[in-house]
Structure 1
């Protein structure tokens, strides 16, 4: 039986549509394209409703996940699967000693309790790999007596060599600091860097104790639904000065995907515009990366989704 191809799609959960692109500043001239005025009006409502508590400017509110990569790890399909699943094994002792540490923000410093390397590893390790039917128990060796088999897009396909489902091997750990996007801008955050034999770069686990992390505040979305033809932003893929790369949630058959941005000195609102397809189309949500250019560097400004009003975090790496 044919299985559906693995596309970057998710079940369609949002009723709003797809993203649009506006590469000019929010307070500058805009092209007279349909939907821009409606977007600007809703973006203004989202910005006015954004009322974070004092911890947004004084505490530690990370806008990235606690497990990071500092560069290109050189993933293979198997090591990528192990990283995403949290499969690890440690070949070295991990210090259980707790330490204190300091986060360096653009506007100041904050001392917080940290977890030990052993605690960080326990947070990182999510268990053993799941069984891989038809694959060898050791990597790079063919199954005795003939080829192995594994499921493919069109059913079961044969293969003479397949790597096994194995954990990543931790061969060392060091303490350091890594850049992390927070509610107060890009900060240097204490972290444990785990050297992994199978990867070209360490796997980083942020060292701030969970009790010292302030959660992202709940948003207040406008009461009205998102206008037809406008779409929500799902997360941030990258921040580079005045350029934001945002992933929009668009329909599988949408066209004319255009990002939209609205900004003021304290907040940025992003979303998109699309042209809806006519006729039958799969009910799927596709993540579409788009880039917008701000009038000024983002700095410590919150980036809000025009649909939910929620602050956007950096997508997992």
Structure 2
């Protein structure tokens, strides 16, 4: 089942009722603290990945850096429609195409391509969500096979997609019709535990058309000024280090919040591996 970027942005993961300061240092002040020193860890992650077998496998596969679901151009017409999408409340009114094809091709701008198992219309519809929860619903009246462009770990690619007709909308909702490749085993492990100096990043929200910026969901707590994302660029990788800034003293609810952060790059991302310093793994798109 897909995980939407919208729900991720609003999610709260409760880890306790009260905490004596959300940062590691409960004796901090209300003033913003300087950014943590993340470079040593980022350098270790880059060194482990650059030139590794895992990096070669990553560049040979299909790893989306964006949501496999692309909304209609005029989405949404109402709060009710948005709620229906977020809660995965869809109704099918009509028939979906049936096909006997078993695989489909993903093609990159340099001409390279990769053949992957094909996802039928029914399976793609099921990925949109089959919630039977009460509340508003979006109605799918049909679908046809087409294609779309999607940011990937090897740059923009043309991928097959099911174009679902949504009642009341002039343009289709697109769902990518192939699944990501199996990720390689990372050559470095994660940081031992969560700390105020380094936090695990969430999903990639998007990559700019020119590849010069990346937007990710970065985590922070309820007692700080928000997340920060530092970047380390090498010829083979871009390592992102997520942290929180401005931790404050006092009691507060201990929550994990998410916020979109856009990181500017010195040069286009290209086929460099986008990595999370905390996990030591590639930052993934929504699946």
**TM-score, normalization: structure 1?**
0.69
**SS at the partner of 1:249?**
strand
| Counterpart-to-counterpart distance in 2, 1:74 and 1:215 | 33
2:143 maps to: 173
* d(CA) in 2 for partners of 1:17, 1:104: 45
Task: Give the alignment partner of residue 130 of structure 1, picking from 128, 133, 151.
Answer: 133
Q: 1:208-230: per-residue Cα shift (whole Å, max 9, x none)?
A: 2x5xx413335433555466344
Query: Once the 2 structures are TM-superposed, how far is the Cα of residue 244 of structure 1 from its aligned partner?
Result: 1.9
1:301 aligns with 2:272: yes
Note closer, same or farther for the CA distance 1:216–1:79 as it changes in structure 2 (3 Å cut): farther
Q: Does 1:214 align with 2:177?
A: no
User: Residue 203 of structure 2: which of 235, 241, 248 is its match?
Assistant: 235
Partner of 1:62: 64
User: 261, 266, 278: which one pairs with 1:290?
Assistant: 261
Contact 2:204-2:283 within 8 A present in 1 as well: yes
Q: Secondary structure at 1:101's aligned position in 2?
A: strand
Q: Give the number of equivalent residue pairs.
A: 256
Contact 2:147–2:158 (CA under 8 A) maintained in structure 1: yes
- Structure 2: gaps of 5 or more residues: 1-8, 16-21, 25-32
Return the alpha-carbon distance in structure 1 between the equivalents of residues 160 and 38 of structure 2: 39
- The CA distance in 2 between the partners of 1:172 and 1:187, in whole Å, is 25
Cα offset for 1:184?
1.6
Instruction: Name the TM-score, length of structure 2 as normaliser.
Output: 0.76
User: What is the RMSD computed on CA atoms of the aligned residues?
Assistant: 3.0
Give the drift of 1:277. Answer: 0.7
Where 1:182 maps in the other structure, the secondary structure is coil
CA distance in 1, matches of 2:23, 2:233: 21
Name which one, 1 or 2, has greater alpha-carbon Rg. 1
